[in-house]
Structures are given as structure tokens and as C-alpha cells.
Structure 1
Amino acid sequence: MSDGKQLDYDEEPAGQQQRSQAQRQGALDDGSELPVKEGAVFGVIGVLITYLTHLYLTVAASAQAAPITYADGDTTVVTDLVSSWVAAGWSYLAAFGVGFEASGEVATLSAAPNNVAALSNTPFALATTVLFTVTVGSLMVAGYGVARYTDADSPVDAVKAGLTIVPPYLVFAAIAAFLMTHSYGDEVLVGQIIDNVGTLEGGQFLNDEGDVISNVDFGASTTDAILFAGIIFPTAFAIVGSLITQGEAVIDTAVAKINDR
């Protein structure tokens, strides 16, 4: 009698492990053969970690930055810094190689006055290295994590699992490009952007007296953001991370493919 009870106790953990294994494997055995929900969770975590790191370092940079000031008669005008949450988005996108635009004209991140993006205003030594490490590392860890969680047993399954983390990056890249913009309306700042971006025509934004007649809108290129920060680099690094789970199987599969040809 006691042996039967002991057997039940011994088998219970094994049963729980089997159910857990079945749940994870079920992510690869459903109709789509992709662990979409699991990938979304890992992807969202990766995006949040990356953006929050850029935000933290951008806030640190803004604490050390001084806004542009100038004299207007007897008054000293203090201009506004770009909002930290916007500048952090610029830093995030720039880490993926995304380009920027000033009222539709191609620009660089450094062309934006009062810009406190951490990637272009490092608050301490090696901050840029930290940003690139977190940006790339989060992608690889997310790809590795979802492939490991779903117990992918072949390089092909690992790649499929890794690709499921890409949609959150794509969504965030599109949102960041659309929402994280800054409109410059101060005459001195507008003049600086016109000087920094040679293709902007001054007459469209300043009149003969130097007054602003139209603001300059600065932000990331939506096309670049979707391609580089939403598809190309997330896909590439997610695949690399997922394949790490396979070890030598990746090499064996590659050699087998070559031999088949």
C-alpha cells in the first residue's frame, strides 16, 4: 500500500514535466507551426529593455545638457530641449542605422539642435558601447529565449521560433517613427537646422525679417525605421540568437545541405 502511494508521489513531478513539455511543444505543433504568443512576449520584453536603456541614458544626458540661449534685446531667451522620451526614441532608432528627416529632407541626428539622444550625447564613457550591446544583445537573447522555451529540436524550428519576436520590434519602430518627432518653432533653432541641412530652403521657414513662418518638423525616416529597426536587423539577430540553441546541429545541417547539392 505504501509502495503505491510512493509511486504516485514519484510519478507526479514527471507528469507535470510532461505537461509542461507538451504545452511548449504545442506552440510548434499548432496550425501555424509558430510560437506566436511566446515570441510576442519575448519580443515585447526585448523592446522594453532596449528602449528603457536608451531612455535612462538619455535622461542622464539631458541632466548634463544646457539648452541653447540667445539675447533678444534686453531679454535672454532659453530654448527648450527635445523631450527625453522623444530623444530616447531617436537614440533607439539610430542604433539600428535609421536615418532622419527635417521637414521631409534627409538629415542626420546631429543636425537637430537641443537634441539629448543618448547615442549622440553620451553621458559617460562607454555609454555608446552599452547602448549597442543592449540593442543587439536583447534581440539575440529574445531569439535564444523563445527557441529554448519551445524546445526547438532542429535549426529550422529554432529559426521559426526566433522569427516570432520580430513583430513587436516592427510595431514599435513604426510607432516611434510616427510619434517621436519634434517641431522646431524658435527662429534661432530653425536657422540652425537650415544651416545644418543644406537642402532646406530658408525662405520656406523664415521671412526676410528672420521670423518663423513655418516650423521645421524633425524625426526619423518612417521607411528606414520599418526596414532597419523593424525587419532587417531584428530578423538577422533573432535568427543568430535562436541558432545558438542548436550548437553543432547548425553546422551539421549546413554541411548536409552542401553535400546534397
Structure 2
Amino acid sequence: MILLAATPIGNLGDASPRLRETLEAATVIAAEDTRHTAQLLRLLDIENRPELLALHDHNEHEKAASLVERAAREDVVLVSDAGMPTVSDPGFRVVQLAAEHGVEVSAIPGPSAVITALAVAGLPTDRFAFEGFLPRKAGERSRALSALAAERRTLVFFEAPTRLAASLADLAAAFGPGRPAAVCRELTKLHEEVRRGSLAELADWAAEGVRGEIVVVVGGAPEVAVSAEAALAEVQQRVVEGERLKDATRAVAEATGLSARELYAAALEARAEGASA
């Protein structure tokens, strides 16, 4: 089988007994960085010296098939440098191919920077979306954030410390400077820090320079009460701009929480009244 093994994101004490047992017994480990994994084995006092195979962003597409073929004959443990493989880390293509070829995939649960940051951020956790790393280029980043501005769920991002200030400034511009957020730095490590505040406040703080592994958690867009009249006007404007009535009604209903059926009926009634006037 393919066995996805979550490794510590900082504190080695978070390595579970099951992870230790698996690493001690493994014959083959596919690792994001073989040197990092070899060091992890030493730090965990793992005496086993399994075969270490490199599996990273640059070679996963070409290595996935051979790994899955091998996993059909023997267990292959898959690890990333930290946290759960496949989550903004290598492994997805391997799991996808394994599923297609009927090779079993299992996991050893463990540390996750996404879940840890979400838990300590102090923002709603009932519904959230993980967006990974934002685009590096400013224009692409701004477009991506504009598409997320109305998202009601709490959003979780990874970010490099060198781009944190620029990304927070872009978040403030796209979501509004007052949107609540948290920057979680060096989670589970000696210098762990959780900085909470508005996006504008956090952008100002980050401008001075921030180090370490970063997770940014941003509160979802607040609910905006929209009257039926305003929603109908939005539908009519969309239709004037060339959108089909049904599509316009559906989009506005989803954005406002109003009934699509009632909006559609109101639009038809308004159209009929306009035609008879």
C-alpha cells in the first residue's frame, strides 16, 4: 500500500508512537527531501535505515507510476518535510494513480499546520477553506483575492515570510482593511507566535519584517443584508448587461441568500409591467 505519514511541523514531541513504529519498520520511504528525512530518523532515534527515494514537486509526475507499481508489491511510506503529504506538499499524483490502479492508500494522521493555525487563530472554525500559497506575482495575487472577497468561510493561506507584508496589504485591499485575521508563525516551535488583528494592522506589523514558517488565517466575509428590491435591481442590471435572466437570478440568489424562485418571479412581473406601460 501507499502509507501517507504525517510528520512533526516543528516540535519532535508531536511524532506519534504509530509514526515511530512505521518508520522503524519501513523498507522504502518516498520523501520530499531525503536529507531532511534522514535527519528526522536520526533525531527520532530510529535505528532503521530504509531506502529513501526523492519525491518532490519537480519529479512527482515522472516518479508516481513507478512508486505505485512498487506499492502494489510492498508498502511504501510517503512523507513530506512537515505535516501531511499531499496538502500543499508532494503526494497527490501518487495517491491519484494508486486509486486508479486499485492500490490501497492509508494514512497515519498527525500534525497539520492548517488545522493548528485554524484552531489557535480565534476565528470561526465551523466552515473554512484552505487556499494554499497565494500567487507570487502581485497582479495574479490581486485577481485571486478579488475572487475570494465574498467568501463567507474562514480562509487559510500559507505564505513565505518575504512576501507576507505584500500579501497582507493585498488582502486588506481586496477584503477591506478591517477584516479580522491572524498570522501564525513557527507553530509548535520555540518561537511560536500568533498575531491577531485587522488585516490593515497586521500588514503594518509585517512591514517591519517577519521570519519563520507562516500561516495566515482570515475571517470570512460578513453577511450583508440585501433587500428584495436591491436584489431585483441587481438582477435587472445583469440582464441589461447581457446575462440570461435565469443565470442572473441564480447568481444573485446565491450571493444574497434570497429565494431564486421568488426573485425570478419578481423579475418576470417587473418585465411584464414594463412592457404594458
Higher relative contact order, chain-length normalized (CA < 8 Å, sep 6+):
1
Query: After TM superposition, is the score higher than 0.5?
Result: no
- TM normalised by structure 1 equals 0.25
* Structure 1 or 2: more strand by fraction: 2
* Structure 1 or 2: more helix by fraction: 1
